[in-house]
Structure 1
Amino acid sequence: MTVPGRRLTQQDIAKMAGVSQTTVSLVLNKRGDAEVRIAPETRERVLRVIRETGYVADPVARRLADGRNRILGVFTYEAVFPAESVDFYHPFMVGIEECAEEIGCDLLLFTSARAASGVRRRIFNEESRVRLADGCVLLGRSVDRDDLARLLSEEIPFVSVGRRDDAGGPVSYVGADYPPAVRALVERAVALGHRRLAYVGAGEGGESRADRLRGFREGVAATGAYGLRLPAAEALTTLRAAGVTAVFVEEYADCVAIARAAKDRGLEVPGDLSILTLGALTRPVQIDIDFTGLRIPRREMGRRAVELLAEVLESGGTPQELLPCELAAGATLAPPRAEPQVTGESPLA
């Protein structure tokens, strides 16, 4: 039982229960003294409608005098707990928790929207309790656009961790500013003598991937280098055949795979092939390589997401911020051993 296209109000609950809006307010605030008596069956009817619609999943939760619970929700599109120190999401959660504690808010992790039959988690389903929180931080490598559109249409305060395109309206977010950092890496490689470069990864399927590929394209165009884009599965064979000396890799795991494949073929990193990572470690791996690349400001993004959500709750608006990525020196970028020959126009120029 929902009202499509917008957020439910007390007036909606009153109509569904066949009572006045004042009665709904009294039930929500557990009022029922000598001056205002509510029949038990009326109270139960209101509570039943509340439970069925999800207007307030816990009908006995009292709101504070300022109209807020001081509870911030965290919805994750992928399972993130337990989060080890090497887990991709751990720094985000550390930043979120630190800032929530500083501003005096509790965190509520939404876990009931479980995945089933291979379908990713969704915010809204028959068990959704997202309205228990004053607002919500969204965390995931990609976020469902239908969820974003509904959050916007129902005016539920939220901030996404990661840049998001409009979803029927502008989306509040804090993200990593990938393009300038990737351009700087390309310029650094070219300055060392690399002329044939490759981008390994999807470059699509999420705003962060598209941003990294865009930065690579811009760097190639600005430096006049020759740039290729390749899927990870065929990377090493194609790289060598194309004379590529520096490869920019979207996913950290693919950096590891390319480095291991290069070693198996007797190639040295970075002497024969420089490898630059544009991602972060997502799970523990056993490899003794300090990759050159980017440091994504994950902890800072978590903190800033909570700060922005507090601003939205206080004064509204649709804040959008990108935080700079730092360059990680690492040990996998060096001048090429031989001067590469550049022929033809770059496919990515």
Structure 2
Amino acid sequence: MNLEDIARRAGVSRSTVSRVVNGDARVSDEVRRRVQAVIREHGYHPNAAARSLASRRTRIFGLLIPRAVGSVFSDPFFPRLIEGAVGACNEADHNLMLLMDTTEDQRNIERLYQRVIRGRHLDGIVIASSVVDDPVVARLCEDDFPFVLVGRHPHHPEISFVDVNNREAARQAVAHLLQHGRRRIATICGPANVIPAIDRYGGYVSALLDAGLMPDQNLVRHSDFTSSGGYRAMRSLLPHHPDAVFCANDPMAFGALRALHETGLRTPEDVAVIGFDGLEEGESTTPPLSTVFQDTRALGREAVRALLDITQRSRKGGGVRRLLTARLLLRRSCGCAQQPQKSPGGTSSRDSP
């Protein structure tokens, strides 16, 4: 079956069928439903190459994770992000190309550009875990190539992004520890050049200053978002006698809990702990981990939807700035006595002003 056959059965022109197949908005809802019913009835699948030539679109999005391949699948954040992005692509009849490469090496960037982006093998790209002054972002802006960041850009607010309010969520987490009477609150941050880590550290500092406490650099450690990194950071903090620790992600908090347990310190009696992510694994730690819940799958979904908004409506250079909700998920590790809360199943989002 071809477009002419579908057009004849639906009682429309071939060009109308082509518009429906390519997602063109210049078709009435009634005609679109009629054409789609014929397509479903006869199991028609358009030729991908011909479709791309006609529409000048590949219907392929890229998801760039600027990390080494091994670290991507050992970090629970990225599989969940990928799952959400794939789901949104499937809903939109797009494919997702997964790109994993470190962007610190200029040769890697050049290979990526020549192989994929300059060749226009993609309609757009989502960048996860962006760092300050990421050279890939600069190149994409120069080439006017559609892209969306997972995480805001600190220097260019016009760049499209999907994020949670990391600073405010971290401030609330540390303020909660202060409400428990903790005063020597440490933090285990992520890498110093990663934007969410910077924002979460900013929220930590804001909460202390609001309480009239000066941040103590002896209580600050940077780590690599891994459980082993959190473990090492917690061990190095212990000589400074913290009574609580806010970790910038859940895997580092898991490592911190392990370090406290091995040294005979009780959580939360001796050292309270709060993480950030809301990973399901936190429900089964000892004690269950209090954390800031962010729906990582929703971040992936909303990033793809924002990219669709840009590519389909020709909104280039910005204008899509979407914030998802984040909230405290209080369990035993912070000192709360209520029953452990289950991780929420979803989250809402809004376009930021």
Q: Tell me the TM-score normalised to structure 1 length.
A: 0.66
2:91 match: 102
1:312 match: 310
User: Deviations along 1:241-265, whole A, 9 cap, x unmatched?
Assistant: 4x43111122434323332232233
Q: 2: distance between equivalents of 1:258 and 1:189?
A: 16
* Inter-CA distance 225–287: structure 2 relative to 1 (3 Å threshold): same
Runs of 4+ in 1 over 6 A off after TM superposition: 81-86, 280-284
Deviation at 1:66, TM superposition (A): 3.3
Q: Do the aligned partners of 2:234 and 2:260 also contact (CA within 8 Å) in 1?
A: no
Q: Do the aligned partners of 1:86 and 1:283 also contact (CA within 8 Å) in 2?
A: no
2:183 match: 195
Secondary structure class of the residue paired with 1:231: strand
Residue from 221, 230, 237 that aligns with 1:231 = 221
Q: 1: distance between equivalents of 2:102 and 2:205?
A: 36
Does residue 184 of structure 2 align to residue 183 of structure 1?
Answer: no
Q: Do the aligned partners of 1:280 and 1:296 also contact (CA within 8 Å) in 2?
A: yes
* Inter-CA distance 231–82: structure 2 relative to 1 (3 Å threshold): closer
Identity %: 25
Q: Which has the higher contact order (CA 8 A, sep 6+)?
A: 1
Residue from 106, 117, 129 that aligns with 2:116 = 129
User: Deviations along 1:129-172, whole A, 9 cap, x unmatched?
Assistant: 122111111223537622111111111111112222346x8422
Counterparts of 1:110-129 in structure 2 under 5 Å?
Answer: 110=99, 119=105, 122-125=108-111, 127-129=114-116
User: Which deviates more from structure 2 when the two are superposed, residues 260-269 or residues 274-283?
Assistant: 274-283
2:13 match: none
Secondary structure class of the residue paired with 2:186: strand
1:326 match: 327
Q: Do the aligned partners of 1:183 and 1:219 also contact (CA within 8 Å) in 2?
A: yes
Unaligned runs of 5+ in 2: 1-48, 223-231, 337-353
Q: Do the aligned partners of 1:197 and 1:226 also contact (CA within 8 Å) in 2?
A: no
2:275 match: 277
* Inter-CA distance 213–156: structure 2 relative to 1 (3 Å threshold): same
Does residue 136 of structure 2 align to residue 147 of structure 1?
Answer: yes
Q: Amino acid of the residue matched to residue 70 of structure 1? A: R
2:77 match: 88
Deviation at 1:71, TM superposition (A): 1.9
Q: Do the aligned partners of 2:129 and 2:194 also contact (CA within 8 Å) in 1?
A: no
Secondary structure class of the residue paired with 1:200: strand
Does residue 210 of structure 2 align to residue 211 of structure 1?
Answer: no
Q: 2: distance between equivalents of 1:177 and 1:128?
A: 35
Q: 1: distance between equivalents of 2:78 and 2:106?
A: 17
* Inter-CA distance 86–119: structure 2 relative to 1 (3 Å threshold): closer
Which structure has the highest helix share of the two? 2
Deviation at 1:238, TM superposition (A): 4.1
2:245 match: 247
* Inter-CA distance 135–294: structure 2 relative to 1 (3 Å threshold): same
Q: Tell me the TM-score normalised to structure 2 length.
A: 0.66
Q: Do the aligned partners of 2:278 and 2:329 also contact (CA within 8 Å) in 1?
A: no
Secondary structure class of the residue paired with 2:153: coil
Q: Amino acid of the residue matched to residue 256 of structure 1? A: F
* Inter-CA distance 128–170: structure 2 relative to 1 (3 Å threshold): farther
Q: 1: distance between equivalents of 2:73 and 2:220?
A: 32
User: Deviations along 1:322-348, whole A, 9 cap, x unmatched?
Assistant: 32222121220117xxxxxxxxxxxxx
Unaligned runs of 5+ in 1: 1-59, 336-349
Deviation at 1:121, TM superposition (A): 8.2
User: Deviations along 1:210-257, whole A, 9 cap, x unmatched?
Assistant: 10001111111112245434226464464454x431111224343233
Q: 2: distance between equivalents of 1:255 and 1:82?
A: 17
* Inter-CA distance 321–108: structure 2 relative to 1 (3 Å threshold): same
Q: Amino acid of the residue matched to residue 110 of structure 2? A: F
User: Deviations along 1:38-62, whole A, 9 cap, x unmatched?
Assistant: xxxxxxxxxxxxxxxxxxxxxx776
Q: Amino acid of the residue matched to residue 316 of structure 1? A: R
Deviation at 1:207, TM superposition (A): 0.8
User: Deviations along 1:305-330, whole A, 9 cap, x unmatched?
Assistant: 11111111123140222322221212
User: Deviations along 1:166-210, whole A, 9 cap, x unmatched?
Assistant: 46x842211221111111112211222222212222562111111
Query: Which structure has the larger Rg?
Result: 1
Secondary structure class of the residue paired with 2:55: coil
